Chains A and B, each alone.
Chain A
Amino acid sequence: MCQLSGIDAFTILRELGRLNAPTVDPRFGLNPTTPSRPGSGSTLQITRPTAMPHQEFDGLTKEDRRQVPHHHDKIIDVEGHPRLRVGFWQSRYKVPDHGSLHGLPYSVKNNGGTKTEKSDDTALAMMQSIEDMPHRPNAIWFDQDEAIYQGGTDRAFLAVYIFDDDTKVVAVFNKQTGNFVTTCQLTEKQETELKGTHNFGGGEGWFSGKVNNLPPKGITSINSFENDVMGITPVDDSQIDNSNN
């Protein structure tokens, strides 16, 4: 193995990779066991790139493993914006819960959630949709210096967002690594936070142990018992309880 002044060359390359915009690193080949064509199967294990030492791969966290390079990775390279990588493994991991947002077939579970089949094919389709997001008519980039995901929590990181203002679907990238992290459809509140502060997903401290109890602010209403009790028309009996209890 290459050694530079006693430092593992892979360590240097890895650190450089974290600092610079992502590229599909040619040093990472594929193990012979990796299927050369996309297929299906929900239990496919993340494979170690051939150029990555076993020890290094074994030491990776689950999160880091999902970011190891794969030959299906896609690059988003739009002038004036950071270069981004939509990783295959991370996409495969996220596709069951978020594939429906990108036009993939899904089933609706009893609890109302959606589930898309987890396979190479669905992962690739979602990756294609994300890669195409910057070219949608009303796509908006949020890559300002202060753009942050889950700001105010110990999970916060500088972020790049590609937001589709028509569908309200966002793709979240880690600005430092350029790697795709997640995708979801924003609520109105999250959308306002993203547009106003370039930060969403922090949960305003609800889960950090800091008691959060925001006083009423913003809109104030002319309050009356009749309005409180009768003011909202139910759109679906199973969805809205009109009692204001």
Chain B
Amino acid sequence: MTYNQQRHVQLLKRSQDFKNQGKSFYKESPEESLELSSYNIAVEEKIFWQHRYKVDELMQDFLNRKIDGQEFCDQVFGLRRNLMIARNKFLIQLGAGEVKDFQPDPRSKKLSGFLDGLFCYCDNSMEDYENDQFFNAMQNGFLNFQKALNEE
């Protein structure tokens, strides 16, 4: 599927229309809703891609014991929330016709799901970060993350 900004904007407006009526776009028109999601994911992934070095730095700080697990996961939670806010703002601008020419970045697919996986791992390990299992998982994640980055 080729990204189509005009269609993306159209779907954003459709979604907003349903929202204004108190209806769920997904329940009312599941196919269009999933099509919109695929476009929105492209935005989400591009924003994360642009912040990939923050995650890289954060993981290095944890693995080098500069910060503890609590601080690490706190920052992961904060970063994820900031990126979600940035995505929402961007989609509002896109829907309002304020973005002239958006294109997804195919490279961003390489890190698809990384931050979500990291968030869930941290959430699952809350208050129990100081163990080998958590450290080893982060080490594996970091190696995989590095591998993806080095293939840029």
Contact = CB atoms under 8 A, between A and B. Distances in A.
Interface string A196-240: 100011111111111111111111111110011011110110011
Interface string B22-57: 111111000000100111111111110111000000
A72 interface: no
A221 B140 contact: no
B2 interface: yes
Nearest to B94: A233
A219 B23 CA distance: 27
For chain B, what secondary structure do more than half of its interface residues adopt (helix, strand, loop), or is it mixed? helix
A191 B37 contact: yes
Interface size on A, as a range, is 35 or more
Contact of A219 (B1, B85, B115, B145): B1
Contact of A239 (B40, B82, B101, B147): B82
Nearest to A231: B103
A96 to B, nearest CB: 9
B41 A189 contact: yes
Contact of A216 (B46, B101, B109): B109
Given A216-B106, A240-B50, A201 B141 contact: no
B95 interface: no
B2 A221 contact: yes
B14 interface: no
Given A93-B126, A216-B109, A203 B103 contact: no
A83 interface: no
**A201, A212, A217, A233: most-surrounded residue (chain B CB, <10 A):** A212
A137 interface: yes
A155 B84 contact: no
List the 7 shortest-distance A-B pairs measured between CB atoms, nearest first: A203-B117, A112-B78, A111-B78, A113-B78, A239-B86, A235-B89, A138-B24
Interface of B: 1-3, 19, 22-27, 34, 37-47, 49-51, 74-75, 77-87, 89-90, 93, 98-107, 109-110, 112-121, 123-124, 126-128, 137-138, 140-141, 143-145, 147-148, 151
